[in-house]
């Protein structure tokens, strides 16, 4: 079963590499506005990227065959920072919604879980490997794109940097607009 998933993902990636100019694939980079999407999470609830404006957002693209163990390590970080304004959307590519829901429940994951079964968001963001992580600022601008594995401690530093930048920008705005 794992070999089948690996083969399917290999075919998807090969298609993206062979067809870099295809209209369905975008290359999103740091500094770009994150492409909007509207989907259902694994509980059936509606999720749009726009609903997280005002928060630091982490988009974590993953698959069960390669990244599930690393994703579990992000849960304590999310639990610590969600009240501070962190939103974490784990976007699984290639597995069924039921499989992703089962995985989330059996591992106690509380962040937003999405099953991108048809790879629509995957294509929108031009993801070419797993995991791929995007960190968005509170205005929906991509501030960091990480290709490949990242440890929770490294991810925390990047998220904390966004909180610091956000706080400094708010303080500067207040200072400039004092009456």
List the chain pLDDT tens, one digit each, 179 residues: 565 455 445 545 555 444 444 444 568 999 999 999 999 999 999 999 999 999 999 999 999 888 888 899 999 999 999 999 999 999 999 899 999 999 999 999 999 999 999 999 999 999 999 999 999 999 999 999 999 999 999 999 999 999 999 889 888 888 888 86
Tens digit of pLDDT for each residue in 17-40? 444 444 445 689 999 999 999 999
pLDDT value, residue 170: 84
pLDDT value, residue 120: 96
Q: Report the CATH number that the domain containing residue 76 is assigned in CATH.
A: 3.40.30.10
Domain count, the chain: 1
Distance CA 173, CA 176 (A): 5
pLDDT value, residue 17: 45
Q: Provide the residue range defining the domain that includes 9.
A: 2-176
CB 163 within 8 A of CB 143: no
* Nearest residue to 65 via CA among 4, 127, 149, 121: 4
pLDDT value, residue 8: 46
- Tell me the three-class secondary structure of the chain, residue by residue: CHHHHHHHHHHHHHHHHHCCCCCCCCCCCCCCECCCCEEEECCCCEEEHHHHCCCEEEEEEECCCCCHHHHHCCHHHHHHHHHHCEEEEEEEECCCHHHHHHHHHHCCCCCEEEEECCCHHHHHCCCCCCCEEEEECCCCEEEEEEECCCCHHHHHHHHHHHHHHHHHHHHHHHHHCCC
pLDDT value, residue 24: 46
pLDDT value, residue 19: 45
């Amino acid at each position: 079963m794992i070999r089948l998933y690996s083969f399917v993902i290999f075919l998807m990636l090969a298609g993206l590499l062979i067809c870099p100019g295809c209209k369905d694939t975008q290359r999103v980079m740091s500094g770009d506005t994150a492409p909007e999407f509207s989907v259902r999470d694994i509980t059936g609830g509606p999720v749009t990227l726009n609903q997280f404006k005002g928060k630091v957002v982490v988009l974590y693209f993953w698959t069960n065959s390669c990244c599930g163990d690393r994703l579990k390590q992000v849960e304590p970080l999310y639990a610590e920072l969600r009240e501070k304004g962190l939103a974490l959307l784990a976007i699984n590519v290639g597995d069924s919604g039921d499989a992703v829901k089962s995985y989330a429940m059996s591992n106690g994951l509380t962040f937003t879980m999405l099953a991108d079964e048809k790879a629509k968001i995957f294509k929108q963001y031009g993801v070419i490997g797993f995991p791929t992580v995007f960190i968005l600022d509170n205005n929906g601008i991509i501030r960091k794109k990480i290709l490949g594995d990242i440890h929770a401690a490294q991810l925390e530093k990047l998220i904390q940097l966004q909180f610091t930048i956000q706080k400094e920008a708010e303080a500067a705005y207040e200072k400039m607009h004092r009456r």
